[in-house]
Amino acid sequence: EDQVTQSPEALRLQEGESSSLNCSYTVSGLRGLFWYRQDPGKGPEFLFTLYSAGEEKEKERLKATLTKKESFLHITAPKPEDSATYLCAVQAGTASKLTFGTGTRLQVTL
Amino acid sequence: ETGVTQTPRHLVMGMTNKKSLKCEQHLGHNAMYWYKQSAKKPLELMFVYNFKEQTENNSVPSRFSPECPNSSHLFLHLHTLQPEDSALYLCASSQDGRGGTLHFGNGTRLTVT
């Protein structure tokens, strides 16, 4: 069974304090790893898809990386508007479904 | 309207009520999904429709009944729910039923009393 574990569960950063969120996964035949951002009271918003180990993608202050066992979401010099829950999901094998982690709740303070 | 729209945003219902959730997507996608999101739990896939045909039912109790009249609209009919069914119900769409990038609506917050 596919498993996705995200850590930490919650993270509090000061504005400008860079850090990383972790998503470790156990799957058979990774087809894609997805990062989403979810604001309170809203649905998840797509950020990135990574397909193979070594791949990296960037968007503003966010950079996602992928290895054979985990993915990191690096946040450089975060701002308060980066506060949200970040969700990781994997798609594997012949399945069409995505398996989600429980998310990391990020709070960035002034 | 753009993206994926869900109505109502909030719903409070008694255990004997019947209600429906509605989802509409304006992205030209062919697959639509219902997910359940509960506190401290991962998103749970409930149903998948691809070109109006149900392709996945993730062992969901029969008190939840989906309907997909066309590729743009998806309903979730609710009846005789339990308090543990209280959650955020999210609709999503994708280009096709092979999964991949999902586009979510903002959900319906359901409270069962």
Q: For A51-102, write each residue's pLDDT tens digit.
A: 999 999 999 999 999 999 999 999 999 999 999 999 999 998 877 789 999 9
Residue A85 contacts B, CB cutoff 8 Å? no
* Three-state SS letters, chain A: CCEEEEECCEEEEECCCCEEEEEEEECCCEEEEEEEEECCCCCCEEEEEECCCCCEEEECCEEEEECCCEEEEEECCCCHHHCEEEEEEEEECCCCCCEECCCEEEEEEC
What's the pLDDT at A108?
98
Residue B53 contacts A, CB cutoff 8 Å? no
Residue A87 contacts B, CB cutoff 8 Å? yes
Kindly determine whether residue A43 and residue B105, on different chains, have CB atoms separated by under 8 Å: yes
Q: For B71-100, write each residue's pLDDT tens digit.
A: 999 999 999 999 999 999 999 999 987 777
**Position B1 pLDDT exceeds 60:** no
Query: By CA distance, what is B55's nearest residue in A?
Result: A96
Q: Between A and B, how many CB-CB pairs are < 8 A?
A: 55
